[in-house]
Each structure stands twice: as C-alpha cells, then as structure tokens.
Structure 1
Amino acid sequence: MAQVTLQSLWKKTSKRPRDHDETETESDKDNSEQRTKKRRTTTQYPKCFQQKWLLEFEWLKKDDSRGMFCEVCTGMAHCKTSPFSVGSKNFQRSALVRHQMSKDHIISMQAKRQQNYMDAAKTCVKKKYLPILEAQLKTALFLAKENIANRKFLSLIDLQISNGSTVFQKASSAGQSSATTSMSSRGIYTNHQAPADMQKALADVLREMTIVRVKESPFVGIMVDESMDIATDKKLIMFCKIVYGGQIKIEFCANVTVPDGKADTIYNSIVNWMNSVGITFKNISGFGSDGASVMTGRLSGVGVKLREQNPRIIHIWCAAHRLALVSHWAAKKVPYLGRVQEMLVAIYFFYEFSAPRYNKIKELKKNHEGKSEKI
C-alpha cells in the first residue's frame, strides 16, 4: 500500500514540471512575437531630429540638405574627416555626445574661444586708441605735404595739446586711468622712426589706390621725364593720364632709379613697371616726353620702341618743353632780348649776397611810395 502511494506521488510530481515547461515555452513565444513587432515599428518609423537638441548643444545647427552639423568645427582644417563638419543624418543623441567629447571638437572650441578674445581686444583698441592713431597719421601726412622734417613730429603734437586738442586729452586720461597702458599724452608711437613708418604706410596705400585706378581705365597715357635727386641719383619720373569716373585725371605712378639715360634703359624701366602693376600694351594709347633725341629718335627712340609693341600709341612732344625751346631760340634771334637777359642776370648777382645794396634798393622803392617786397 505504501509503495502504491509513493508511485502515485512520483507520477504526479513528474507531470508538474512538464506542464511548467510547456507554459514557459508559450510565454517565450509571446515575447519573441512582441520583439519582432517592436523591430517592425522601429524600421517603419525612423528616428528624426529633436528640436530640444538645439538648446542642449549650443554648437549644433540643422540644415535640410546637410542634416545636423557643428558650427564650430565647420571650416576647421583638423576636422575635415569629422561627419559633423560636413553634415550628419545620424539623428541620435549619443552621436552628439560623442562629438562633443571628441578631441577635434575640444580643440575647435578652444580656437573659437581665443578668436573671441582677439575680436574683443580689437574692438577695445579700435574704440579707445583709433582716434589718436588717426591724429598721429594726419600729423605725419602734414609733415610730408609741407616738406617739414620728421623730427618736428612730437613738437607738432605738443602744439596740438597746448591748443586744447580733445583727441590727445582723451588719450592722456585713458593712459592715466589704466595701469597697464604705457601710452603717454602724445600717443602710442612716439619714437623718432614713427613718422617715417607712418608716411611709408600711407604711401603704400596711395600707391595701391593709384594702381587700381590706372588698371580700371580703358585708356592709359604714359608721361616720363628724367631728373636728378639731391643724392645725385638719376631718376625717371612716370605719370599716367587716365579716364576714371568719366573724368580725365593725371596720376603720379613711379619714381624709378635708372643708371643712365639711354633709350634701352628708359624703355626697360617702363616695361618693368608695367609688368609689376599688371598693365598691358593694349591699354596704352599715348606716350609723352620732353622731346629729347633719346625719346623722339626715329630709329631707336623710346617712342619707336613702344610703338613696336602697340602701333596705335601716339607719341606727343610736351607742349611746355616745346614752348621753352621756342622762347629760348627766339630770344637768340633778337639781340635786344639777349641784352635784357644779361642785364637782369647782372642785377640779380649784384644784389644777391650784399645786405647794404639790398637795403638801398628797398629804400629806393619806399621813396617811390611803393610797397616793399622781396626781390
């Protein structure tokens, strides 16, 4: 009896696990079906861009064609291979986090931060010191125009300060209020070389502006003349007659040092200057000179060499030089004019280096009730 009961119990217990296994298998099937449904829904509805990411990541930008990209890394040389530099359509927050923590993005952020510091410094300098720099440049330009020595630069600034210049007074107060500023009331540039450097910078700007106007002109006429500077260096001065803004203008273009006054030397100097500024012979319509044989020679003159490059060039003999030559040769044909010229030259040398004689001629003019003027 006991054995029967044990067998019955054993049979019952052996059936229970089998039923349990069957129920677990059914639940696994249900779970697998649910997973496949989720996969289908995921592939059927892809991920899209979230607008809240723009607030979370300040560097993030969204474009319909490019997708999402990093505003800081775009254009950086070290970020050319980064997908966020070109544009990415991987709309996942994890991709944004990975880019934010990448080394390239950190370097780009540091560069952007340094650029902002530099822009702020430029704005500060422009606001505080630009007026006084303009005043110093105008002073240097005045020295060049009036042919005043550059050593008078600081003296003229002191004169402006004594006359109550508001620009230099503001600069002085700004320099006293800041402990880190070494600028005096005279301005930033106060050494002896400053006016020469300013004049050179102004000359470079004026030269560039002149070249732009000459290149924009449809027709260009070149006028040259030889001269000698105070250091006994032979110079070739070049002017250009152009059409700019519907008006005819004459521009000073170059002052070239030449070793001699031969036709080949002058021609090569003109061609080298044209090549340096980018002017071709097709734009040259005229050539003006003083009428010397080296310029007007019919076989090897400078005008003939230029016409070989462009036959349409018109060679013009300077009217002022021709008038001087006409008056000179005409005076030689009239003996009376020659005597008048000799008399005027003799009077000049008689009174030139003698103070008593000069005072006598001044008294003579006063006696005739005339205004005393320097002769």
Structure 2
Amino acid sequence: MAGRQKRITSFFTSPTRSLSTDRDRNDDQTPSVAQGDDSHSTRSDCDTHCDPPESKKKKTTERKFQESWRNNEKCSNWFEYNSEKKHMHCKICRETGKQNTFTEQSGCENFRTSTLDRHMRGSDHLQAIEEVALRRSFDTAVNRALSENDQGIISAMQSVYWLAKEDIATRKYESLLKFLKLQGVQTVDKLRIGQNASYTSRQTAEEMQDAIGKVIANDIQKQLQESEFVSVLSDESTDISVSKKLVMYVRVIEEDFTPKTRYIGNVKVKDGTAETIATELKINLLEKHRVKPSQLIGFGSDGASVMRGRKNGVSVRIQREVNPYLISIHCVAHRLALCTSQAADGIPYLKKYRQTLTDIYYYFKRSAVRTEGVKEIQAILDDPSLKYKEVHDVRWFSFYAALETIYRTYGSLVTYFRSVAEKTPVAKGLNDDTVRICCYDTPTHGCYPDSNTPEYGISVR
C-alpha cells in the first residue's frame, strides 16, 4: 500500500514541478509575473495574472498668470504682461538692452513666483536698474541746468524787447541787466555759462532782437495768409539821414471777424515816385509775405498826388497790375487836417494865432538865458515847468501841445514878457500878441498875470 500511495503522489506532483521549472526558465523574458493565490491554478489563469500593471500617469497642474503680480511692490515697476500672447517681459531690461528670457520677443511663459524672484535677483536686472537710475539722475541734472539757463535767456529777451518798445538804445542792454541784478532779479545770473560766456554784450542783444523780429514777422505772415481780405496802408517820408523811406501797415481780418492793424516794414527806397512805391509794395506783399492778388482789396494813403493820381498814382498802378477791384481810400484824418488848415488860411485871426505860437517857440529856443528866466517865474508863480513847443503843419498834435503849454503857463509867460519889455521890443510885441490872442481881442481890460476874469477867453489855471 505504501508503494502504491507513493506512485500516486509522484504522478500528481510531477506536472506541477515541471510548470514551476518552466516559469523559472521564462523569468528572463517576462518583466514581472503576478502569482495567483491558488498554487494549483491553470496556465490560462497564469497568463491573466502575469500581464504588467498600467503605469501611473503623473498629474500636472496648468500654471496661469496671477493678476496679483501686477500690483506687487517688487514687480510693479518693471513687470509687463501681454494678455493676448500670454508672455511676461521686463521693461527695464528691455530699455537697457539686456539679453535674457524676459527681453526676448516671445517673453517668459514660466508663470511661477520663483521665476520672478530669480529674475529680480539676477545680475542683468540689477545692472539694468542701476543704469536707469543713473540715467534719470543725469537727465534731471541736465533739465535743471537747461531750465535755469532758459529762465536767464527769457529775462534777457524780455529786457531787449522792453528796450525796443521804449525806444531806448540797444547799447543800454548791459546796463539794464546790471540794474536788474542790483534789484535782486536772480534769473539774470543764470545767463553766465562758464568764465567767459555772459551773454550781456550789445551783439547778443542785437541777435535777440533779430530772433524776436523773425518770430513776430512769421506770425504776421501767417495772419496775412489766413485772412480772407487784406488792406495796405502806406506813406513815404525822409528820415534824419536824408534817406527816402516807405512805411507799410496792413489790415487783416481775424477768425472772429475783428480787423487788426499790423506793421510789416519800413524800407528804404531810391525815390518817392509812384512806380518805385508800387513796386516795393508788390515785392513786400505778394512775394515776401505771399499775399494772393485776390486778397488785396484796399489801399489807404495820405491823398498825395503820387499816391492817388488818377493816371499813374500808386493806387491806379496796383489796380492795373494786381487787382482791378482794389478800393483806394484817402485817409480821413488827413482830409480833416487839410480842411481845417486850408480853412484857417483864409481867416487872418487864425493865421496870426498860429504865427504867434511859432514866434514864442523860437524866442525861447534861441536863448538859454530867456529859458532860465521864464523857468524862475514859473517856479515863483507855482506854474508847471514846461518848454514851449513848435507848431508843425504836418504834425496835427503839435498844435495842441503848443497851445496847451501856453494855456498852463500863461501867467508866467506874460509876467516874463512884461519884465523885459522895456529892454527888448520883441518881448513887448510878443506880450501884446499873446494877450490879444488869449483875450479874444479885448485889450481894454488890461490882462494881468493873476487875472482870472472871463475877458481872457481862457482861465489861467
């Protein structure tokens, strides 16, 4: 029985041992084998349990841009984000020309806080910050220096402009700057650059005048071109150097339809003929200031024959050569002056009146002793200290100035004439003429210097 039982056991255990041997033999070819819980499982069960397990996939979280980075104190001054392309850039590194991920066109796409920290600690970024700081400090210093120099130049140009407006010689420019400095105008000190450049010379003042003149001329030219219509006012005269001059003004219409008068020049001409004046007007208006012929619609003058001659006057030439629709206007003030002067020539009393004013002027002009004598009497009688003025036929306001002087110093004038009448017959005659014209020819009342009666025709004070 024992031997039989042994054979049965051997029969059942041999296949299992053989299967185990086959498994051991195939271990080198199979990555791994899963063993079943049952040691007596079949071949098909082994194949099922020997398949390799699926690899575990590593889960990654997609990183995104954080809006809080924009307002971060450490990043706000250099950080830039392109929301369309989803790129990060460093504007400071870009400004200074650094080469790194944050300056490339594609930018940085690694949205990590640690990425930003590494960039801020990087040598490129730190150098870029230092360069920008130095550059800004330099720019600030330069701008401050330029601003101070500009203030000095502005003060100097205002001084030059004031001298021109007040008809003061340009050679007084340096003296004026010294006076302003004494008055505590600190901007004048800003004109000096280094040890030599002070910009206080007469040549500097003349250059500033030229610059101011060009700016004004450009503004006037712009107004001329923008104005729909233009009128020119012109007159010729001879200056103190016996040179013939032609002065020109224009009337323009501004945007609000307000007429404005602008000075455009006082040019030297070879003579005062109509041909020369008309040519000069065309050169200055049509060529120099680019006024269109259709814009020029008015011409104003003093009414002289050379200006308004019916055949070859300046106005007729401009109508013929520039604009046939031009309107020529005889100055109203000149017409009034001509009317009054010509009318006065026909009245003996008015002729004598004007002649007396002229004689009084020349009586005191020729003698310093007489001038001092009348000034002493003016001081005693508490009259204003005034010089007697000449009457000019071509200067309308001169008549008023001469008459006003006599009106305000009448008492002193008559007193002086009477004090010297016994020694100087001319003074006696001027005294009689002065009393006569001021008393409206009523000599019987005996006009005394302190009189204030209606018979004088004027009041002394």
Q: Does 1:144 align with 2:194?
A: no
Give 1:167's match in structure 2, choosing from 163, 187, 190: 187
How far did residue 52 of structure 1 move? 7.5
Match of 1:284 in 2: 296
Query: How far 1:373 sits from its partner (Å)?
Result: 3.3
Cα deviation for residue 352 of structure 1 reads 1.1
Paired amino acid for 1:255: N
Q: Which runs of 5+ in 1 are unaligned?
A: 1-48, 60-90, 92-115, 176-180
Cα gap change, 1:362 to 1:191, in 2 (>3 Å): closer
Q: Residue type matched to 1:314 in 2? A: I
The residue number in structure 1 matching 2:154 is 134
Post-superposition offset of 1:191 = 2.6
Deviation string for 1:310-365 (max 9, x for gaps)? 23211000112222222221121112211222221111111113233223333444
> What corresponds to 2:245 in structure 1?
235
| Matched position secondary structure for 1:316 | strand
Please give the per-residue CA displacement for 1:53-88, whole angstroms capped at 9, x wherever unaligned: 9989949xxxxxxxxxxxxxxxxxxxxxxxxxxxxx
Q: Where do residues 179-328 of structure 1 align in structure 2 (5 Å cutoff)? A: 181-182=193-194, 188-246=198-256, 247-274=258-285, 275-308=287-320, 309-328=322-341
Aligned length: 266
Aligned counterparts of 2:140 and 2:187: Cα–Cα separation in 1:
23
Match of 1:158 among 178, 182, 196: 178
**Contact 1:219/1:285 (<8 A) preserved:** yes
Q: Specify whether residues 121 and 294 from structure 1 end up closer, same or farther in structure 2 by C-alpha distance, changes over 3 A only.
A: farther
Structure with the bigger RCO (C-alpha within 8 Å, sep 6+) is 1
Taking a change above 3 Å as real, the CA distance of residues 369 and 132 of structure 1, as seen in their structure-2 partners, is: closer
| Percent sequence identity over aligned pairs | 32
Query: Which residue, out of 330, 339, 361, partners 1:348?
Result: 361
Write 1 or 2 for the structure with the bigger share of helix: 1
| 3-state SS, counterpart of residue 213 of structure 1 | helix
Relative distance call for 1:145 and 1:123 in structure 2 (3 A) is same
- TM-score after normalising by structure 1: 0.63
**Structure 1 residue 122: deviation in Å?**
7.3
* SS of the residue 1:221 aligns to: strand
Residues 109-149 of structure 1, C-alpha deviations (whole Å, 9 max, x = no match): xxxxxxx9x99997455323100010111111111112222
What secondary structure is seen at the aligned counterpart in 1 of 2:294?
Answer: helix
For 1:144, the aligned partner's letter is A
Give the whole-Å Cα distance in 1 for the aligned partners of 2:209 and 2:266.
16
Q: Is the CA contact (8 Å cut-off) linking 1:262 and 1:294 kept in structure 2?
A: yes
Q: Which has the larger radius of gyration?
A: 2
Aligned to 1:100: none
Structure 1 residue ranges (4+ consecutive) displaced by more than 6 angstroms after TM superposition? 52-57, 118-122
Instruction: Evaluate the alpha carbon distance shift between residue 285 and residue 50 of structure 1 in structure 2; reply closer, same or farther with a 3 A threshold.
Output: same
Q: Which amino acid aligns with 1:353?
A: R
Check the 8 A contact 1:297/1:304 in 2, yes or no: yes
Q: Distance in 1 between matches of 2:142 and 2:269?
A: 44
Whether contact under 8 Å (1:281, 1:310) holds in the other structure is yes
Q: Measure, in 1, the Cα distance between the counterparts of 2:298 and 2:380.
A: 56
Give the letter aligned to residue 252 of structure 1: Y
Q: Which amino acid aligns with 2:216?
A: L
1-side partners of 2:178 and 2:270: how far apart? Answer: 43
**SS where residue 218 of structure 1 aligns?**
coil
> Compared with structure 1, are the counterparts of its residues 365 and 214 closer, same or farther at alpha carbon in structure 2 (3 Å cutoff)?
same
SS for the counterpart of 1:193 is helix
Q: 1:371 to 1:273 in 2, by over 3 A?
A: closer
Amino acid at match of 1:290: D
Q: Distance in 2 between matches of 1:282 and 1:288?
A: 17
CA contact (8 A) 1:133 1:188 kept: no
Counterpart residue identity of residue 297, structure 2: S
Alignment map for 1:50-61 (pairs within 5 Å)? 58=94
Distance in structure 2 (CA, Å) of the matches to 1:257 and 1:245: 33
Distance 2:302 2:91 in 1: 75
Task: Confirm or deny: 8 A CA contact 2:156 2:188 kept in the other structure.
Answer: no
Deviation per CA, 1:6-27: give whole Å up to 9, x if none: xxxxxxxxxxxxxxxxxxxxxx
Which residue is equivalent to 2:350? 337
